[in-house]
Structure 1
Amino acid sequence: MSKQVKSIILLAVMIVLSFSLVACSKKGSSSNAEKDSEKVANLGELPEKFDEEVTLTTVRHVAGDINFRKGETIEDNVMTKWAKEKFNMNIKYLWTTSGPQDAFTTKMRLALSANEEMPDLIALRDDVTEDLIDSKRFMPVGDVFEKYASDIWKEAMNEDPSVWNSFIRDGEKYAIPILDYSMNGDPVLFIREDWMKKLNLEAPQTLEDLEKVMDAFVNEDPDGNGKKDTFGLTVGFKNNLNAWMSDAGWVFGAYGAMPNQWNQTEDGQLEHGSTNPAIKEGLAKLNEWMGKGYIHKESGLWDETKASELFTSGKAGIIAGPHWMAGWPLSDVKNNVEGAEFKAYPIPSGPDGKAGRHGTFNYNGAVLINKEADPEAIKAFFVYQNYLFENFANPKEGSEFEYGFAEGYDYVMKDGEPSKDVPDGIVNPGKYSLTFDVARIPSLAMDTLYKLADGAEPETPYEKTRKQTADTTPEVYEAAKIVVDQKDITMPSMFTGAPTETMKSRGQALDKILDEGFNKIIYGELPVDEFDKMIDKWKSSGGDKVTEEVNEWYKSVQ
């Protein structure tokens, strides 16, 4: 047999083996999907309450915004007791973490790599979601959601069906989005109103106007201590220029661009916002502001929360962030500085009349269900969450949640009327829920706040409760009204799918090119004209491939 014939036979054998492996893989994948569908089909109907105690296992990061009453813990609190009494449901935590979010991420990745037992379900707001889905240890959830979710929950989800996109693999939904309120993170400016009055300054409408305000805040001693120790604006761009708080994205929006997200171009394609030529102007402006002392030299080292402390300590006059920041953390400035006042202002326009802010996704996390989950635990989750969507998200008069979740926690009764004046302060039991914020209907919050901001009387229990909460920090009303009034300047991120293959393999390296380069321009370590070279490097290092993949995804969902 000749060497050429042997080569042909070997090649033929390899081709046959390759097709066999692909077929087996597809058969295995199909078999797994069929098993998951069969499991859902055999789950049976949902009860109102379980005859025998059901235990649902999970894990949790106990973030710094979670407070407890009377020695309670995440494992044993008013909400876990409610679930036991209401549904005969026991919520068991296999483990918890606290402190920085990284602690949970690390713990979760170690558990995956060590092939540790996974809980029945995991609710999380973390990049490790992708690792969990890719681990193949969690089941498709589309069928079980369609079978068990209540009509109210489905209607809330259908307000923005794109919330599913990040969790779809090969046409299957692998996580249930945790819904958030619409425009909940869209930023406005908050400005020290007592400084504005003291220095006789006018409301800024443009970047040029804002620079006059910042210059006065830096050079005219607004706090009256005789020292030049105040700043115009606080931003924290350690993690992102387009951040959820202490945001700088609106600076770029004034030039028609938005970094760190995917934006639609005039020809209907998607581009990485950080590569738009207008970003160059925003970087030059931030560099100018840092040079003039308008922003702190450590802004590039600060995360969002750390940057906000410059405002709450009384040393910065302007901060950008969501409307709810008026309640937390900005209200702390009133406790820290005698006579401090602040007020919400619209996002200013740039030299060509443009204005822009980043948008908000209508979800803020996801729930994954273990393939090996106890079937009764799966049903328990839907019994629990359906009830909360039907009774808590927008409660009816006379219902158990008419005034809040639990008396003595998020409200008290005084002379027969509900009050938010809770002894020892309000504690939010909703933070203990399996999905962090109980249940949210996206459109409800802003619609309500806008109505109340215009002076309308609250009618529903939700509206009354929202008014009680907002009344404690009335700046929330004006901020919410500005968010809605400026909705036309929102620049939403148009890519909501799962990370592409090149993002997975090259994403961190690509981000590093832009993040490090942008920081150096802002700090004056590189001239702004280096921007073009950075973008060329980003494109040739995999950015062009990512852009191609993102647009393939975008075409598939149109």
Structure 2
Amino acid sequence: MRKLTATAVILILIMGLSGCRAGGGLPEDIGDQSVPGRSAWNGEKYDPPITLTRVVKHNTYSTTFRDNEDWDDNVFTRWLEDTLGMKTETLWAIPEENHAFSKKLLLSISRGEALPDIVSYRGSYETMMQLMESGRFMPVDELFDKYANDIWKEAAASYPQMWENVTIGGKKYALPLLDYTMNTEPVLWIREDWLEKLDLDPPETIEDLERIMEAFTYLDPDGNGKDDTYGLAVTLRENLNAWMTDLSWLFGAYGAVNSQWNKVGDRLEYGSVQPAAKQALGKLSEWMKKGYIARDASTWDEVKASELFTTGKAGIIAGPHWLPDWPFPKLKSYAPEAKYRAFPVPAGPEGKRGVRAGSPAPTNGVILINKDSEHPEAFLHYYNYLMEHYANPAEGSPFEYGFAKGYDYDLINGKLVKDNPQFISPMDYSLSYEGARIPELMINTLVKLATEEPTTPFEQQVKAKRRPEEIEAASIVMDYDRQGIRYHNWYSGRSLGIAKSRSSLLVQMEREAFNKIIYGQLPVDAFDQFVEQWRQAGGDELTEQVNNAYQLSKNER
């Protein structure tokens, strides 16, 4: 309760210090070339150039710089100025470990400090809500209607749910960044060389998988004579359905994906309080007791947990089709002989299968625009350009082979090369994470490349970069879709009333109960008591509010 009270005080401070933008409309002089001394967009770029300020949450695992480059002087920022007349000024850059980026951003708001022109945010919904409700960022409805190009608008129209989490009082307070569809669903990545060595068949059922984990744990699959391998790499620290080391498939094998709102008939039900969750927790408890899972798993995040697989100490990891792109290349340095392959998730005792599929709208982050920015339209010009020229480039486009020669591609004897481990992505320095994406393009391309040769520049880039194992894995994910076993999270928006104040308590209750059951500190039957406590602590009210909000949004669509 002390944590809840502190959160409330912070939110009050944010609102009190920041105020709200009256009306929330666009500044009248946007693009008005009659305003003396004002840079204007001439249809191609700003002349003279403008400066956009930003803050950066960087990835300490993958973001690197070449030579003397930095956040404001690199191959991306030079392109941005030369092509679109936009300079960047990075006020600060910080990693997100221990939520450092989010905390610093909220602290800046609570102190009434100057904010950047744009904030690229990817993180918890609760923090995003605090940012949007702070009064420091402007509604984007008119900006989007006036400046977004047809490609962007058509993609947004296909996924109207993308606006739900950024809408407050009927106004949209952030621009969702489109992501690829079917980009999070887990497949089972298994050490194929270990299967061959131990003469094991791929798993069809949970029972089959348990036999494989037993062998991987106790039959010395790496041949070093030590008892130092595990069946499955997972994190048990915060989110069991992490973006890699995912466990949603185990819950789905019993009929309900955990920690999300699943559609049951015409209602939404929270997966973690369904009987299926009790069965899955029982299995996890067994696997922990038998040593298939490392006992340190509750102290690791998903990246640390994945290292059990990439250092050759675990034989199975569940995650997206693109893991061969990162972080699997690390495995070869530890086990040069290693072979891995993707397999469909196994079926439960009644033949059920299921995996998490995220939100029905494919997004991966948002852009918030400072209400005091002199050029709030600038980001839209930038994203328009990337949607038109970078997301699916045409032949002869500046991005036909990639963003920048020597950075993310090379041409050697006329052949496109994109899989050099020394390459870095200029989009690591961009205003919008991966740049711009057309939702269905990647999964459709990967599935096509499983049986056909590439014909477009995008397809040629994918073929040059993506490994055969990923192309095979993407076809498995597409099969999930055909089989109807992708479980969308049908509600991730905010809760109202008393359930809002208790939602973090409910999440904490779930984490504590699940971990104690998995580690054997509580019997599996303690799940029933957890469910009853969850319902009484606001879970029933939350369920009704979620369903009311879901029905309302469905009617509005």
Superposition TM-score, scaled by structure 1 size: 0.90
> How much does 1:512 deviate?
1.2
Which residue is equivalent to 1:112? 109
Which residue is equivalent to 1:222? 221
Which residue is equivalent to 1:346? 344
> How much does 1:43 deviate?
4.3
Q: Could you say which structure has the larger radius of gyration?
A: 1
Which residue is equivalent to 1:544? 540
| Distance verdict in 2 for CA 1:42–1:330, change over 3 Å | closer
1:439 to 436, 440, 455: 436
> How much does 1:419 deviate?
1.9
| Distance verdict in 2 for CA 1:101–1:389, change over 3 Å | farther
Instruction: Tell which deviates more after alignment, 494-503 or 209-218.
Output: 494-503
* SS of equivalent residue, structure 2 residue 176: strand
Checking the alignment, whether the CA contact within 8 Å between 2:96 and 2:102 is kept in structure 1 is: no
> How much does 1:41 deviate?
8.2
> How much does 1:421 deviate?
5.7
Which residue is equivalent to 1:519? 515
Which residue is equivalent to 2:415? 417
What amino acid is the match of 2:363? Y
What amino acid is the match of 2:246? D
1:251 equivalent to 2:255? Answer no
What amino acid is the match of 2:134? S
Checking the alignment, whether the CA contact within 8 Å between 1:395 and 1:401 is kept in structure 2 is: yes
What amino acid is the match of 2:385? Y
> How much does 1:416 deviate?
3.2
Deviations 1:191-232 (A, max 9, x none): 001100001101111101111111111121111122222111
2:285 to 284, 287, 291: 287
Checking the alignment, whether the CA contact within 8 Å between 2:261 and 2:491 is kept in structure 1 is: yes
* SS of equivalent residue, structure 1 residue 165: helix
1:153 equivalent to 2:152? Answer yes
| Distance verdict in 2 for CA 1:430–1:42, change over 3 Å | closer
Checking the alignment, whether the CA contact within 8 Å between 2:179 and 2:364 is kept in structure 1 is: yes
Checking the alignment, whether the CA contact within 8 Å between 2:419 and 2:465 is kept in structure 1 is: no
| Distance verdict in 2 for CA 1:262–1:502, change over 3 Å | farther
1:139 equivalent to 2:138? Answer yes
C-alpha separation in 2, matches of 1:43 and 1:545: 48
C-alpha separation in 2, matches of 1:357 and 1:503: 27
What amino acid is the match of 1:548? E
> How much does 1:304 deviate?
0.7
Which residue is equivalent to 2:469? 475
Which residue is equivalent to 1:430? 427
Checking the alignment, whether the CA contact within 8 Å between 1:40 and 1:143 is kept in structure 2 is: no
Which residue is equivalent to 1:556? 552
Q: State the identity as a percent.
A: 47
- Give matches, 1:53-92, under 5 Å: 53-64=49-60, 65-92=62-89
2:25 to 29, 33, 37: 37
Which residue is equivalent to 1:185? 184
Deviations 1:390-430 (A, max 9, x none): 000000000100000001100112223332265x7111001
> How much does 1:42 deviate?
5.0
| Distance verdict in 2 for CA 1:463–1:101, change over 3 Å | farther
C-alpha separation in 1, matches of 2:536 and 2:473: 42
* SS of equivalent residue, structure 1 residue 378: coil
| Distance verdict in 2 for CA 1:40–1:300, change over 3 Å | farther
Structure 2 unaligned residues grouped into runs of 5+: 1-18, 33-39
- Give matches, 1:3-14, under 5 Å: none
Checking the alignment, whether the CA contact within 8 Å between 1:168 and 1:498 is kept in structure 2 is: no
Instruction: Tell which deviates more after alignment, 431-440 or 57-66.
Output: 57-66
What amino acid is the match of 2:240? L
> How much does 1:81 deviate?
0.5
C-alpha separation in 2, matches of 1:548 and 1:70: 56
| Distance verdict in 2 for CA 1:232–1:441, change over 3 Å | same
Superposition TM-score, scaled by structure 2 size: 0.91
Q: Which structure 1 residue ranges, 4+ long, deviate > 4 Å from structure 2?
A: 40-46
What amino acid is the match of 2:450? A
Checking the alignment, whether the CA contact within 8 Å between 1:97 and 1:104 is kept in structure 2 is: yes
Deviations 1:459-505 (A, max 9, x none): 110000011001xx321111111111112211110103234344541
Deviations 1:275-296 (A, max 9, x none): 1111100000000111111111
| Distance verdict in 2 for CA 1:149–1:61, change over 3 Å | same
> How much does 1:539 deviate?
1.0
> How much does 1:529 deviate?
0.8
C-alpha separation in 1, matches of 2:95 and 2:201: 44
Checking the alignment, whether the CA contact within 8 Å between 2:357 and 2:486 is kept in structure 1 is: yes
C-alpha separation in 1, matches of 2:83 and 2:141: 27
Which residue is equivalent to 2:372? 372
Checking the alignment, whether the CA contact within 8 Å between 2:143 and 2:377 is kept in structure 1 is: no
What amino acid is the match of 1:222? P
2:496 to 500, 507, 525: 500
1:204 equivalent to 2:192? Answer no
Which residue is equivalent to 1:332? 330
> How much does 1:96 deviate?
1.4
| Distance verdict in 2 for CA 1:38–1:105, change over 3 Å | closer
Checking the alignment, whether the CA contact within 8 Å between 2:237 and 2:297 is kept in structure 1 is: yes
| Distance verdict in 2 for CA 1:206–1:365, change over 3 Å | same
| Distance verdict in 2 for CA 1:336–1:501, change over 3 Å | farther
Which residue is equivalent to 1:11? none
Checking the alignment, whether the CA contact within 8 Å between 1:162 and 1:496 is kept in structure 2 is: no
> How much does 1:109 deviate?
1.3
* SS of equivalent residue, structure 2 residue 312: coil
CA RMSD after TM alignment? 1.7
What amino acid is the match of 2:137? F
Which residue is equivalent to 2:6? none
Structure 1 unaligned residues grouped into runs of 5+: 1-27
> How much does 1:301 deviate?
2.0
What amino acid is the match of 2:52? L
Checking the alignment, whether the CA contact within 8 Å between 2:54 and 2:89 is kept in structure 1 is: yes
Deviations 1:143-192 (A, max 9, x none): 11111011111122223111111001111111100111001111000000
Instruction: Tell which deviates more after alignment, 386-395 or 153-162.
Output: 153-162
Give the number of aligned pairs: 521
Which residue is equivalent to 2:276? 278
Which residue is equivalent to 2:306? 308
What amino acid is the match of 2:446? L
C-alpha separation in 1, matches of 2:171 and 2:28: 14
Checking the alignment, whether the CA contact within 8 Å between 1:80 and 1:91 is kept in structure 2 is: yes
| Distance verdict in 2 for CA 1:289–1:137, change over 3 Å | same
